[in-house]
Structure 1
């Protein structure tokens, strides 16, 4: 069996016991690496004071080699905070108004990808299979090909892929497309993303479709297909089931004093629709006076990318909005919104999901959104809560028992909250039973195995559409 080489922007190092950090992706990739042996390479998260990098830090643990690269402050500013997160991230989330293109940042992005290729190439064996992750590293295969590597190289995009009219606003869009065409397999979260990619190839004659997911562009034949990422479903369900043992979960339950709980969990980002969600919750309380004092909305929003100015502005905006709503609606014995601006441990989070009557997952645009899947997995089968899910999240293609909403429509989300809180237990069980078997079968290990099988050149991908006999058809009143 060929070795596996994984490259990601950051490398989640295992703890002293060798266990992977919490999170399904890290667990699945570490398991694949342990089975096959291999390398996990990426940025160490450290930045040097000078303009030059300090080389590569090699750490061996069992059958896995962790290869960490420090970047200079200039590299971090231009590659990470600049082009990756102020150009590609907003562009792929359809936010042209937030893209901030600068030639120096573009140059830094390609320079760091070249650096990664230079550090990685000496470590590669001829039969290694290489798997590159996410938008930070799109040009990496092209750099490796220029160095003469002929290995099988796959790429998985964790975020959405935009249509041609959006992508082509990027001055270097053709170079980005050339980078993707250098891979043997390009994986997307949903069929919609794959169709957008195909449209970008065909729009200006960049490439042509050969059928069966194959494309030809820039003299290279490659495959593009759909691999919806998932979670450790069974393990997360077990964590939720045993969460009552956790003191913090118990204190939270006691503090609710019998009130219904609505939960939202998001990294602080403008793509998550957090302000829209708070406004919808406010509208629900105003439109349903009987709910005052009877419902609590918990929004957990850890900080992220604080070095990018837009994220600091976002943090202030969310905090001010939550404060305004609480100031307007609170009573002496009830605060409608609890806003937590830090991370919460996995076991506690699973317990909070389980006690919540409603999971409110309403991003404005999202590649997949694993919070939606975690919420479903955490529910009590006998008394499950209701998932309210944005139709613009990739998870909406799979979770057919959710109430789908347009996150831009405040009244519609407000109505969905009212419907979810009043839904009979039989209907809640039926909806949960539509989703949980699919999540158990299509967990993160299945995702990992499917991609690697396709990269090896055999096996069919499952795609993001549910089989007709299990998918069901949404009735008009299911999409609010």
Structure 2
């Protein structure tokens, strides 16, 4: 079996995966099973940058190799083109995107230098798996250096339709560079269709449902929904730490019902719209006063990008307004916590919550939805309220789907969730858990790697 080489913007953690995000957890699972090399940015900004020392670490069967970037690369590549241009455009927020040729040049330059540092590490039989929007042109840079390896790419965020993608300067160059991959994977069918549409309409390509052909180049394009390890997360929910959190929550709540949202502090997550819908729930269904509460966990994300500071200020202002309007001596409608919890603790909080709110304005998959379902007590499960714009909505038909832009419609669905009978809750949970077991993290990476091997 060939060695697996994973490339992502950030590397690890390996040992403390209970704190890791969804992408890292899924990658760690694949590397632990197969062994291999994980290459990417160290998270450090130094004067030497990408020209500095390669940092290596061994963790069982996994080798970690990281490099630094300098301040200029951080501002143009990471905080710049990746997160001020690609992220908002791919999440359909052109109003927040910054279009700057200097940022674009920095993005391509960093991809070239990362490829130059990675190429000497590759063995002749290695298989390379590149992750996410930070490294879309990486394969083209590796091919230019002579790489003949199987190279796959997986996009964890949504892919925009060509009409939105066209807002990017030199978008044609970025898309053509992606043809250097052997397999390109997306979270959902709609993302794959958006990607293929560009080549059909702009490049005169053809697509047979699996293979995209453009100017003699054939690339496989597939759908591989990212999953979790549902049994492991259920074990988290039964752990002593989770049970402590659950008991703490139930003591605070008493006989009240809790709605839970867990999201990075990001404008794509629809937290502002969620708060507004919760306020409308209290206004239109006053029987919920002093009966339901919303707990929002929102650890900071990319705090050096202006839009993220604005959203935190807006959430704190709205929560303060709503609490001032409705709170009682022993009841606070909205509790906002802007720090992270370990996944075991979150599992306990999920289990104590009658409703899970996952209402992004646009999301690639959203593993919080799957973790909420996995954490539930199957004898008395909660209800998942899910945005139809999350990738998870494509398969989780037991969720109550909402349009997060429709405040009144979302409030109506929240009322349905908090009043749903037990038998309906059990039926919906059972259907969703079957999907989560089928589309597990292991199934995601094994099906992807099988398709990548077949693509060569």
| Range of TM-score over shorter length | over 0.9
| Alpha-carbon contact 1:153-1:184 (below 8 Å) kept | yes
User: Is 1:29 the counterpart of 2:31 in the alignment?
Assistant: no
Distance 1:458 1:199, change over 3 A: closer
- Give 1:14 deviation, angstroms: 2.4
User: Does 133-142 or 171-180 show the bigger shift?
Assistant: 171-180
**Of the candidates 385, 389, 392, which is equivalent to residue 388 of structure 1?**
385
Query: Of the candidates 421, 425, 447, which is equivalent to residue 424 of structure 1?
Result: 421
Select which of 222, 227, 245 maps to 2:224.
227
TM-score by length of 2: 0.96
The CA distance in 2 between the partners of 1:382 and 1:111, in whole Å, is: 54
1:251 to 1:168, Cα distance in 2 relative to 1, 3 A: same
Match of 1:65 among 63, 66, 70: 63
Specify every segment of 5 or more residues in structure 1 that has no aligned partner in the other structure, as ranges.
460-480
Instruction: Give the match's secondary structure for 2:108.
Output: helix
Q: Which runs of 5+ in 2 are unaligned?
A: none
Distance 1:35 1:339 in 2: 38
1:391–1:406: 8 Å Cα contact kept in structure 2?
yes
1:132 alignment counterpart: 130
TM-score, normalised relative to structure 1: 0.92
Match of 1:190 in 2: 188
1:241 and 1:380 in contact (8 A); partners too: no
Deviation, structure 1 residue 216: 1.9
Following superposition of structure 1 onto structure 2, how do residues 57-456 of structure 1 map, counting pairs within 5 Å? 57-204=55-202, 206-217=203-214, 219-242=216-239, 246-456=243-453
What SS does structure 2 have at the residue aligned with 1:387?
Answer: strand
- Once residues 211 and 169 of structure 1 are traced to their aligned partners in structure 2, the CA distance between those partners, rounded to angstroms, is 28
Q: Distance in 2 between matches of 1:19 and 1:285?
A: 38
Q: Distance in 1 between matches of 2:146 and 2:417?
A: 57
CA, structure 1 residues 19+341, in 2 after alignment: closer, same or farther (shift >3 Å)?
closer
Shift in alpha-carbon separation, 1:130–1:170, aligned structure 2, 3 A: same
Task: Tell me how far apart the structure 1 counterparts of residues 78 and 65 of structure 2 sit (CA, whole Å).
Answer: 19
CA contact (8 A) 1:94 1:166 kept: yes
CA, structure 1 residues 439+243, in 2 after alignment: closer, same or farther (shift >3 Å)? farther
Q: Size of the alignment, in residue pairs?
A: 456
Q: Does 1:9 align with 2:9?
A: yes
Aligned to 1:464: none
SS at match of 1:382: coil
Q: Contact conserved, 1:25 with 1:444, CA < 8 A, in 2?
A: no
Residue 468 of structure 1 aligns with which residue?
A: none
